[in-house]
Amino acid sequence: MAGWFIYMLRCADGSLYTGITVDVERRFSEHCDGNRGAKYLRGRGPLQLVFQCAVTDRSRATRLEMIIKQLTKQEKEALLLNHALLEPLLQRLDPGDTATIKTER
Protein backbone atom coordinates (compact mmCIF):
# COMPACT_ATOMS: atom_id res chain seq x y z
CA MET A 1 0.00 0.00 0.00
CA ALA A 2 1.24 3.46 -0.85
CA GLY A 3 2.16 5.85 1.92
CA TRP A 4 0.43 9.13 2.67
CA PHE A 5 1.91 12.59 2.33
CA ILE A 6 1.26 15.98 3.83
CA TYR A 7 2.15 18.81 1.48
CA MET A 8 2.17 22.59 1.45
CA LEU A 9 1.70 24.84 -1.53
CA ARG A 10 2.63 28.50 -1.75
CA CYS A 11 0.14 30.64 -3.66
CA ALA A 12 1.06 33.69 -5.73
CA ASP A 13 -0.32 35.89 -2.92
CA GLY A 14 2.11 34.28 -0.46
CA SER A 15 -0.50 32.25 1.41
CA LEU A 16 0.16 28.61 2.24
CA TYR A 17 -2.22 25.72 1.60
CA THR A 18 -1.85 22.38 3.42
CA GLY A 19 -3.28 19.09 2.21
CA ILE A 20 -2.83 15.31 2.22
CA THR A 21 -2.62 12.78 -0.60
CA VAL A 22 -1.09 9.47 -1.65
CA ASP A 23 0.37 11.03 -4.82
CA VAL A 24 1.83 14.52 -4.41
CA GLU A 25 2.64 15.07 -8.10
CA ARG A 26 -0.86 14.09 -9.23
CA ARG A 27 -2.54 16.22 -6.57
CA PHE A 28 -0.32 19.19 -7.36
CA SER A 29 -1.29 18.88 -11.04
CA GLU A 30 -4.97 18.76 -10.07
CA HIS A 31 -4.57 21.94 -8.03
CA CYS A 32 -2.76 23.68 -10.88
CA ASP A 33 -5.39 22.62 -13.43
CA GLY A 34 -8.15 24.00 -11.21
CA ASN A 35 -10.72 21.36 -12.13
CA ARG A 36 -10.26 18.95 -9.24
CA GLY A 37 -8.18 21.11 -6.92
CA ALA A 38 -9.25 22.83 -3.73
CA LYS A 39 -11.63 25.74 -4.13
CA TYR A 40 -9.33 27.90 -1.98
CA LEU A 41 -6.59 27.68 -4.61
CA ARG A 42 -8.66 28.77 -7.61
CA GLY A 43 -7.34 32.06 -8.93
CA ARG A 44 -4.37 32.04 -6.55
CA GLY A 45 -1.81 30.63 -9.00
CA PRO A 46 0.82 30.08 -9.96
CA LEU A 47 1.28 27.52 -7.21
CA GLN A 48 4.56 26.23 -5.88
CA LEU A 49 5.06 22.96 -4.00
CA VAL A 50 7.20 23.96 -1.02
CA PHE A 51 6.93 21.03 1.39
CA GLN A 52 6.05 17.36 1.48
CA CYS A 53 6.31 14.87 4.28
CA ALA A 54 5.67 11.12 4.12
CA VAL A 55 3.73 9.55 6.97
CA THR A 56 2.74 5.96 7.58
CA ASP A 57 -1.04 6.08 7.21
CA ARG A 58 -4.07 8.23 6.46
CA SER A 59 -4.99 8.67 10.11
CA ARG A 60 -1.61 10.20 10.96
CA ALA A 61 -1.67 12.29 7.79
CA THR A 62 -5.09 13.72 8.66
CA ARG A 63 -4.12 14.46 12.25
CA LEU A 64 -0.82 16.09 11.25
CA GLU A 65 -2.61 18.11 8.56
CA MET A 66 -4.96 19.51 11.21
CA ILE A 67 -2.05 20.37 13.52
CA ILE A 68 -0.23 22.19 10.70
CA LYS A 69 -3.39 24.01 9.61
CA GLN A 70 -3.75 25.36 13.16
CA LEU A 71 -0.26 26.90 13.07
CA THR A 72 0.07 30.59 12.39
CA LYS A 73 1.50 31.70 9.05
CA GLN A 74 4.71 32.64 10.88
CA GLU A 75 4.96 29.16 12.41
CA LYS A 76 4.38 27.52 9.01
CA GLU A 77 7.11 29.68 7.46
CA ALA A 78 9.46 28.68 10.29
CA LEU A 79 8.66 25.00 9.61
CA LEU A 80 9.57 25.48 5.95
CA LEU A 81 12.94 26.93 6.96
CA ASN A 82 13.68 24.48 9.76
CA HIS A 83 12.31 20.95 9.32
CA ALA A 84 13.41 20.01 12.83
CA LEU A 85 10.32 21.91 13.99
CA LEU A 86 8.23 19.06 12.57
CA GLU A 87 9.47 16.63 15.24
CA PRO A 88 7.47 18.17 18.13
CA LEU A 89 4.37 18.11 15.91
CA LEU A 90 4.93 14.43 15.16
CA GLN A 91 5.36 13.71 18.86
CA ARG A 92 1.82 15.01 19.42
CA LEU A 93 0.59 12.20 17.17
CA ASP A 94 2.60 9.31 18.49
CA PRO A 95 5.75 9.41 20.60
CA GLY A 96 8.57 7.91 18.59
CA ASP A 97 6.86 8.63 15.26
CA THR A 98 9.07 9.81 12.43
CA ALA A 99 8.49 11.17 8.96
CA THR A 100 10.43 11.59 5.76
CA ILE A 101 10.57 15.23 4.71
CA LYS A 102 11.22 16.48 1.20
CA THR A 103 11.11 20.10 0.21
CA GLU A 104 10.71 21.63 -3.20
CA ARG A 105 12.21 25.05 -3.82
Is domain 4-102 in CATH 1.10.1760, yes or no?
no
Contacts of 61 (CB under 8 A, 6+ apart): 4, 5, 6, 20, 55
Tell me the pLDDT tens digit for each residue of 32-83.
987 787 888 988 889 999 999 998 889 989 999 999 999 999 999 999 999 8
Residue 92 burial class via C-beta count within 10 angstroms: exposed 0-12, middle 13-18, buried 19 and up: exposed
- Residue 97 burial by Cβ neighbours in a 10 Å radius (0-12, 13-18, 19+): middle
Domain extent listing, the chain: 4-102
pLDDT for res 105: 45
pTM here is 0.84
CA angle 78, 30, 14 (to 5 degrees): 30
Which tops the pLDDT comparison, 91 or 2? 91
Count of CB atoms within 10 A of residue 21's CB?
18
| Confidence band, pLDDT 50/70/90 cuts, at residue 93 | confident
- Which residues on adjacent β-strands are paired with residue 55? 4
The pLDDT tens digits of the residues spanning 53-67 come to 998 889 989 999 999
